[in-house]
Amino acid sequence: MELTTPAGHPAKRVVVFDYGFGNVRSAERALARAGADVEITRDFDTAMNADGLLVPGVGAFAACMRGLKEARGDWIVDRRLAGGRPVLGICVGMQILFARGIEHGEEAEGLDEWPGTVGPLKADVVPHMGWNTVEAPADSQLFAGLDADARYYFVHSYAVHDWTLETENPVIAAPKVTWSRHGEPFVAAVENGALWATQFHPEKSGDAGAQLLTNWIETL
């Protein structure tokens, strides 16, 4: 049976990519509450053809990359983005979108969708675990309708501290980068064409996270 929205339109089909490194069930429940028709799978064709693909991630950068490659997720993300098909990365699922990660002295290549290095947070208390605010651009679609003092749930010891991608083509919109702070500033979210990502967990961020997921689904 096909799910529909309250307006009677078919619900957007979203795949939570199951490559062994993410809170797939909590993501599934949150997306379903936001009105999506959700499936957890690592099936290649299903992931390629969904309206939206969510890439979760928990644990170490290098391990997540190995798991993603074993499931051909790197190829799926690349081909979806080449066709302008939306992808949302969460937590380590965001970090692996950058060029590389360094954890415990181990350097690993990421998907290199964005330049930059994921490195240790420099703060008095690590990991950064709990609720925090963000500084989103005024024209953000991801944070549309959300108050500036809304709080989101973070669990991480590593982050991207510098945004270095520059867009010189005036026809291509510059990425929208959202920041947060724990000891030092770090990238909390990115909106870049079909590729969006959050360092925090929207599926664990209460009403604010639910609104954020709804905002993403409405763009699919």
| Residue-averaged pLDDT of the chain | 94
How large is the average pLDDT for residues 197-208? 98
- Considering the candidates 128, 156, 182, 201, report the single residue annotated as catalytic: 201
Q: Which of 43, 39, 41 is nearest to 14 (CA)?
A: 39
First to last CA, the chain: 20
Does 91 participate in catalysis according to the annotation?
yes
The answer to whether the beta carbons of residues 59 and 67 sit under 8 Å apart is no
**Is residue 1 one of the residues assigned to a domain?**
no
**Is residue 4 one of the residues assigned to a domain?**
no
User: What are the two backbone dihedrals, phi and then psi, of residue 79, each rounded to the nearest 5 degrees?
Assistant: -70, -35
How large is the average pLDDT for residues 31-43? 98
Place of tokens 């639910």: 210
**Is residue 8 one of the residues assigned to a domain?**
no
- Considering the candidates 28, 91, 103, 113, report the single residue annotated as catalytic: 91
**Is residue 6 one of the residues assigned to a domain?**
no
Q: Which of 5, 96, 51 is nearest to 39 (CA)?
A: 51
Range of the domain at 91: 13-105+114-218
pLDDT tens track for 176-188:
999 999 999 999 9
Residue type, 169: N
**Is residue 2 one of the residues assigned to a domain?**
no
Does 203 participate in catalysis according to the annotation?
yes
Residue 103 vs residue 50, higher pLDDT:
50
CATH number at residue 129: 3.40.50.880
**Is residue 206 one of the residues assigned to a domain?**
yes
How large is the average pLDDT for residues 92-116? 95
**Is residue 71 one of the residues assigned to a domain?**
yes
Name residues whose C-beta falls within 8 Å of residue 79's C-beta, 6 or more positions apart in sequence: 48
pLDDT for res 87: 98
Tell me how many domains the chain contains.
1
Does 135 participate in catalysis according to the annotation?
no
Q: Within 10 A of 54 (CB to CB), how many other CB atoms are there? A: 30
pLDDT for res 1: 52
pLDDT class of 7 with cuts at 50, 70, 90? low
Q: Which of 174, 208, 168 is nearest to 193 (CA)?
A: 174
- Considering the candidates 28, 113, 191, 203, report the single residue annotated as catalytic: 203
**Is residue 208 one of the residues assigned to a domain?**
yes
Q: Within 10 A of 40 (CB to CB), how many other CB atoms are there? A: 15
Question: How many Cα atoms within 13 Å fall on the side-chain side of residue 123?
Answer: 20
pTM of the shown model: 0.94
pLDDT tens track for 124-143:
999 999 999 999 999 999 99
